[in-house]
Amino acid sequence: MLVVGLLALAAAAVSASPVERRQAQTIVLPLTHVSKFTSIKNIVNKGQQRINKVNGNVSPSTEASSGSVTNEDVTYVAPVTIGGTTWQLIVDTGCKSLLQYFRKLLRGSTNSRCLLASNTWCGAQTSCEPTSTGKSTGGSVSVSYGSGEFSGNEYTDTVSFGGLTVTKQSIGAATSASGFQGVDGIIGFGPVDLTEDTVSNANTVPTFTDNLYSQGSISTEVLGVSFRPESGSDTDDTNGELTIGGTDSSKYSGTLTYFSKLTSGDASAYWGISIASFTYGSTTLSSGASGIVDTGTTLIYIPTSAYNKFLSAAGGTTDSNSGLAEFSKAPTSNFGIKFGSTTYTLTPSQYLVPTAQYSYYGLTSGKYYAWINDGGSSGVNTIIGQKFLENYYAVFDTTNSRIGFATGV
């Protein structure tokens, strides 16, 4: 596993009864930015495969046989203790609700989406069996993601994360896993309906945050995310934070602006958000889109028509070697994403790959490359990934069904 950076993870930690909740306090733990890949093109492809998975265009067998899925991974992971053993688990907010998916299946729809799930599981690298505090439920678990899949057995055990503890958390012990090189599994932060039909002997299983809320450890189901870009050629900046049960005002400037999570359309099954427009300088690239805000995707993916206009306006092409948008001269205008009436801009220095990292990514000097890429022409074709979130503080508010943004500091 190649460690690109060490970040800090802050989470709400408090002792409270289910009846009397208290405001969460914040503690700091390490959060690691993991990169495992053979080429930058595999990172680009991974995000596009995630989009294909959302749109039901990728089968599990295709994912398992793809080198770019099974060998390449760029994501943020957190140390999660299960029964006394600490695992490095992916922090992933890719999806919100599976209810629409299963309703479509019940209606016999041929356009049902194979969506992601919010189970907590371990064992992608080494065996993850119940400890002395664990207890088998006799159930089997199976989940397919946009960047891999796993199957195994379910048990319950004590789980601690960021100073918060759940004594009987559902855990998936993987007996088979693909697409998770360099990480041990996933910690699920979504609501309980994300676990529907993933465990054989239960309709749903409470997620980690569900249990924290029901036992009174957090007063609201809110996840605050602060990702920060690496500085120059650094690979070990400690500069990020995750907050459970609230937000950390020291990680953003100004006020948080909230936008309703989508309730209809393909993107509504995830942390979906309506997008008023994409812009490059004074040029409108597209209007009236919808997409997903996702901590588990590295790049920013926009509709094909918007991507092509971006290339035309900025004087770029798609590099066949890296898969990135490539420019012979550095773009000079800001890239903007407008939610509601608020436009969030990225300067060229924010949306271009830092030249100090070219050697690491195997890019050609004298060229310029963007983190903005082609998301496709149909279905869900927009993902607001890590390279946007490294510049803006994000809040995933399950309680109020909304997503918030503010300028990161």
Per-residue pLDDT of 144-181, as tens digits, reads 776 678 999 999 999 998 888 999 999 999 999 988 87
Percent of the chain exceeding pLDDT 70 equals 75
Beta strands 252-260; 402-408: pairing state? antiparallel
What pLDDT, on a 0 to 100 scale, did the predictor assign at position 104? Answer: 35
Statement to judge: residues 360 and 220 lie in one domain: no
Nearest to 67 by CA among 177, 178, 182: 178
What pLDDT, on a 0 to 100 scale, did the predictor assign at position 245? Answer: 87
What pLDDT, on a 0 to 100 scale, did the predictor assign at position 400? Answer: 94
Statement to judge: residues 142 and 265 lie in one domain: no
DSSP assigned state of 190: S
CA geometry: angle 131, 205, 198, nearest 5 deg: 95
Statement to judge: residues 212 and 283 lie in one domain: no
Full-model pTM: 0.80
Q: Residue 59: inside a domain, yes or no?
A: yes
Domain containing residue 196: 2-226
Statement to judge: residues 39 and 170 lie in one domain: yes
Statement to judge: residues 197 and 256 lie in one domain: no
What pLDDT, on a 0 to 100 scale, did the predictor assign at position 183? Answer: 83
Question: What's the mean pLDDT when you consider all of the chain?
Answer: 79
Q: Residue 341: inside a domain, yes or no?
A: yes
Residue 278's Cβ-count burial label (10 Å; 0-12, 13-18, 19+) is buried
Q: Residue 246: inside a domain, yes or no?
A: no
What pLDDT, on a 0 to 100 scale, did the predictor assign at position 132? Answer: 92
Q: Residue 231: inside a domain, yes or no?
A: no
Distances (CA, A) of 302 to 43, 80, 140, 280: 16, 33, 37, 12
H-helix or E-strand spanning residue 154: strand 148-161
Statement to judge: residues 210 and 302 lie in one domain: no
Cβ neighbours of residue 140 closer than 8 Å, sequence gap 6 or more: 151, 152, 153, 154, 199, 200
Statement to judge: residues 262 and 221 lie in one domain: no
Statement to judge: residues 262 and 164 lie in one domain: no
Q: What is the pLDDT of residues 57-82, one digit of tens each?
A: 644 333 322 112 222 335 677 889 99
What pLDDT, on a 0 to 100 scale, did the predictor assign at position 48? Answer: 84
Quickly tell me which residue has 């690491």 as its tokens.
360
CB 276 within 8 A of CB 268: no
What pLDDT, on a 0 to 100 scale, did the predictor assign at position 114? Answer: 32
What pLDDT, on a 0 to 100 scale, did the predictor assign at position 94? Answer: 54
> What is the set of active-site residues?
92, 294
Q: Residue 309: inside a domain, yes or no?
A: yes
Residue ending a domain, among 209, 226, 243, is: 226
Strands (E), 239-378: 241-244, 252-260, 272-280, 283-293, 300-302, 316-318, 325-327, 335-339, 342-346, 368-370, 372-374
Residue ending a domain, among 162, 191, 226, is: 226
Question: How far apart are the two ends of the chain, measured CA to CA in Å?
Answer: 29
Statement to judge: residues 37 and 106 lie in one domain: yes
Q: Residue 55: inside a domain, yes or no?
A: yes
Mean pLDDT score, 236-256? 83
What pLDDT, on a 0 to 100 scale, did the predictor assign at position 18? Answer: 39
What CATH number is attached to the domain comprising 262? 2.40.70.10
Mean pLDDT score, 22-44? 59
What pLDDT, on a 0 to 100 scale, did the predictor assign at position 371? Answer: 97
Statement to judge: residues 42 and 151 lie in one domain: yes
Mean pLDDT score, 266-284? 93
Q: Residue 242: inside a domain, yes or no?
A: no
The number of distinct structural domains making up the chain is 2
Statement to judge: residues 147 and 258 lie in one domain: no
Residue ending a domain, among 226, 260, 287, is: 226
Statement to judge: residues 259 and 203 lie in one domain: no
Q: Residue 239: inside a domain, yes or no?
A: no
